[in-house]
Amino acid sequence: EAQVTQNPRYLITVTGKKLTVTCSQNMNHEYMSWYRQDPGLGLRQIYYSMNVEVTDKGDVPEGYKVSRKEKRNFPLILESPSPNQTSLYFCASSPGQGRSSYNEQFFGPGTRLTVL
Amino acid sequence: AQSVTQLGSHVSVSEGALVLLRCNYSSSVPPYLFWYVQYPNQGLQLLLKYTSAATLVKGINGFEAEFKKSETSFHLTKPSAHMSDAAEYFCAVTGGFKTIFGAGTRLFVKA
């Protein structure tokens, strides 16, 4: 089944404790992206990746890191989480952006993160 | 720069009534526009998209949207609401590698 998977689905942690949220897609998509969803703000793009080893900042990158060493995986890293990073996080993938930005994105099920 | 405005954070309709969810955008380049739906505790899934082929776009579950360049709008409609349409709906604009989402409109359907 074609899908985007995220782990963990739920996470409660404490301020300053490094964490990684994994994202994997099995559709051979070039483009992957991370979003956070907060009430009243919709989804805001954190980082995106156009292909392996190519990443760039979205609108809210502060406090986050990403890497794209393999096409299928795009982990989101919070080196020192703070309470204002409590949110619902979504990973998404797409066949391609830029030259084909008309392609829709396929979303994972979400990761609900609470930072105490 | 691109932006999306969804008018109305909550919309309530009766079952069988017309659904109208409003979306206005701004874009410095020809936009690609999308509507996504999010059911409770799920990720987003595509309803429909505008890619300049036709201004009236039909999507899944009986939804459609019309691209109006003069009004910079891409409103979502459905002639007759069903209880299963209750969800949150997001309008999004893509240009280049970035995607901008609206704040979302939660649709309530009354029996």
Which tens digit of pLDDT belongs to each residue from B23-62?
999 987 778 899 999 998 888 999 999 987 788 999 999 9
- Subunit contact B97:A41, Cβ cutoff 8 A: no
Report the distance separating Cα A63 and Cα B32, nearest Å.
29
- Subunit contact B94:A97, Cβ cutoff 8 A: yes
- Of B60, B56, B57, nearest in space to B46 by CA: B60
The structure tokens listed for A87 are 């949110």
pLDDT in the model for residue B62: 96
- Name residue, tokens 């799920």: B42
pLDDT exceeds 70 at position B96:
yes
Residue A5 contacts B where some CB pair is shorter than 8 Å: no
pLDDT in the model for residue A99: 55
pLDDT in tens, chain A (116 residues): 889 999 999 999 999 999 999 999 999 999 999 999 999 899 999 999 999 999 999 999 999 999 999 999 999 999 999 999 999 999 999 986 655 556 889 999 999 999 99
- Subunit contact B90:A42, Cβ cutoff 8 A: yes
> If you ran DSSP here, which 8-state letter would residue B84 be given?
G
pLDDT in the model for residue B53: 75
Report the distance separating Cα A1 and Cα B69, nearest Å.
38
Averaged over B5-29, what is the pLDDT? 94
Cα-based angle A24, A47, B2 (whole degrees, multiple of 5): 125
Which of residues 54 through 113 in chain A touch B, CB cutoff 8 A? 56, 58-59, 90, 92, 97-98, 101-102, 104-105, 107-110
- Of A29, A69, A21, nearest in space to A46 by CA: A21
Give me the amino acid identity at A17: K
Averaged over B66-85, what is the pLDDT? 95
Rounded to the nearest angstrom, the minimum Cα separation between A89 and chain B is 10
Q: Label residue A6 left, alpha or beta by phi (over 0 means left) and psi (-120 to 50 means alpha).
A: beta
pLDDT exceeds 80 at position B95:
no
Which of residues 22 through 61 in chain B touch A, CB cutoff 8 A? 32, 34, 36, 41-46, 49, 51-52
Give me the amino acid identity at B43: G
Of residues B72 and B95, which shows the higher confidence score? B72
pLDDT in the model for residue B35: 97
Q: In what order do the strands lie in the sheet with B64-68?
A: B3-7, B19-26, B73-78, B64-68, B56-58
pLDDT in the model for residue A102: 66
